[in-house]
Amino acid sequence: MPYVNIKVTREGVTSEQKAELIEGVTDLLERVLNKNPATTMVVIDEVETDNWGIGGEQVTHRRKRGE
Amino acid sequence: MPYVNIKVTREGVTSEQKAELIEGVTDLLERVLNKNPATTMVVIDEVETDNWGIGGEQVTHRRKRGE
Amino acid sequence: MPYVNIKVTREGVTSEQKAELIEGVTDLLERVLNKNPATTMVVIDEVETDNWGIGGEQVTHRRKRGE
Amino acid sequence: MPYVNIKVTREGVTSEQKAELIEGVTDLLERVLNKNPATTMVVIDEVETDNWGIGGEQVTHRRKRGE
Amino acid sequence: MPYVNIKVTREGVTSEQKAELIEGVTDLLERVLNKNPATTMVVIDEVETDNWGIGGEQVTHRRKRGE
Amino acid sequence: MPYVNIKVTREGVTSEQKAELIEGVTDLLERVLNKNPATTMVVIDEVETDNWGIGGEQVTHRRKRGE
């Protein structure tokens, strides 16, 4: 019954990678907390780099500096 | 003053259906908790089926199997 | 498969009222979007009035003024 | 280490305004709680006016009335 | 830079289990998306069973039936 | 009408500091986006250091090392 929300920047995450994240998190919750995978929900949010800030600045700016 | 976030898969929800959800949730909170509808906020997120997992797999796959 | 998060101030919401909110929202999603109630998830967060702001001030202050 | 999520309606917020929000919130958390700006995260969500409800109706409708 | 929020029912999750979840999710994001673990944030919310609904009823009720 | 959620570790944030955060964020949204403060909502979540991870470990552990 867990609910997991994963937020990452929108920078070309493939459908296969999303599938791996969903499977990986679901397995983790079964392994650590014995949660039934059938009702584990995972929602992935892809966020534009302009809309994500860290260190007081947009990720867009950090990417331009090669970070 | 309540805040409600509804997440559903992005599968053709119409503007009219969104209006019904907003009205329905706002009414529910007034009826059950006597909350003033004027300051009840509702935000609906539509999530791509590739980005939503249940049972360890993407909803996209479930839809292909007719689920 | 919808996920709904309801945030209200922590001001004596009873277990029965929570049950009504959960049932009401689940019914609404079935009625409006034909969502299977079996996999609709609802999470209610009760937030201290000191931690909730509207109009630039804490709800605690508004309550003291009788609002 | 704080995490801040700002939700606003999608109505032409510019990249510069997003940068101001990110910088402003990060500064605020440093000033008030002495939080290290290097690890403060800010995520801005822009929500369609059809998907945002207040007072039981969509923001889209309020905008049509000039509100 | 990812942000992950894990919601589970408050039913005796130990500090060690929380550490495993945090480490496991951080590793998963490094492995699948090459995300730098240093800035991956994980927040675990433990939710009272009265405040979590699935299938239109509180988890508290399901637990009483042995589910 | 914006909604802002601020998550910080539960480490003695005072009611006055919460009031400053609420006022500061509300002002910021008025200044940058001309949002009406009357309907700006702010919710502050205080998270146990055991439940917050960064760099793959619990904040509790970092605090013990003086970080």
| pLDDT < 50 regions, chain F | none
Nearest CA in chain E to A11: E33
**Rounded CA gap, E17 and C1, in Å?**
27
| F and A interact (at least 3 Cβ pairs within 8 A) | no
Q: Find residue B6's DSSP bridge partners.
A: B44, C4
> B41: distance to nearest CA of chain F, Å?
8
Q: Is the pLDDT of residue C30 over 90?
A: yes
Residue B67 has what pLDDT?
82
**Rounded CA gap, D45 and F2, in Å?**
10
Name the residue among A28, A42, A65, D47 with its Cα closest to residue B41: D47
Residue D12 has what pLDDT?
96
Residue F6 has what pLDDT?
98
Summarize pLDDT for D2-56 with one digit per residue, the tens.
999 999 999 999 999 999 999 999 999 999 999 999 999 999 999 999 999 999 9
Instruction: Please provide the DSSP assignment of D8-35 as one string.
Output: EE-S---HHHHHHHHHHHHHHHHHHH--
Is the CB of residue B36 less than 8 Å away from at least one CB of chain F?
A: no
Active site (annotated) includes residue F37: no
Out of E18, E27, E45, the one facing F58 most closely (by C-beta) is: E18
Count of alpha carbons within 13 Å of F50, Cβ hemisphere only? Answer: 7
Residue B1 has what pLDDT?
87
Nearest CA in chain C to E49: C43
* Inter-chain CB proximity F52 and E41 less than 8 Å: yes
Residue E38 has what pLDDT?
96
**Rounded CA gap, E26 and F7, in Å?**
19
- AA identity, residue B29: L
**Those residues with Cβ within 8 angstroms of residue B35's Cβ, 6 or more apart along the chain or in another chain:** B1, B2, B29, C8
Using an 8 Å CB-CB cutoff, list chain F residues near D29: 6, 8, 21
* Inter-chain CB proximity D53 and B26 less than 8 Å: yes
Query: What are the CA-CA distances from residue A2 to residues A13, A21, B64, C48, E6 (Å)?
Result: 23, 15, 24, 24, 7
Q: Name the percent of chain D lying above pLDDT 70.
A: 100
Residue D67 has what pLDDT?
81
Summarize pLDDT for A15-58 with one digit per residue, the tens.
999 999 999 999 999 999 999 999 999 999 999 999 999 999 99
Summarize pLDDT for B27-60 with one digit per residue, the tens.
999 999 999 999 999 999 999 999 999 999 999 9
Out of D22, D45, D46, the one facing A53 most closely (by C-beta) is: D22
The mean pLDDT of C32-51, rounded to a whole number, is 98
Nearest CA in chain D to F3: D7
Using an 8 Å CB-CB cutoff, list chain B residues near A44: 51-53
Which residues 42-61 in chain F show a CB within 8 A of chain B? 43
Is the CB of residue F27 less than 8 Å away from at least one CB of chain C?
A: yes
Q: How many CB atoms lie within 10 A of CB F66?
A: 5
Using an 8 Å CB-CB cutoff, list chain C residues near B33: 8, 13, 17, 21
Residue E67 has what pLDDT?
82
CATH classification (class only), E3-64: alpha beta
Summarize pLDDT for C12-29 with one digit per residue, the tens.
999 999 999 999 999 999
| pLDDT < 70 regions, chain E | none
Domain boundaries, chain C: 3-64
Residue F1 has what pLDDT?
87
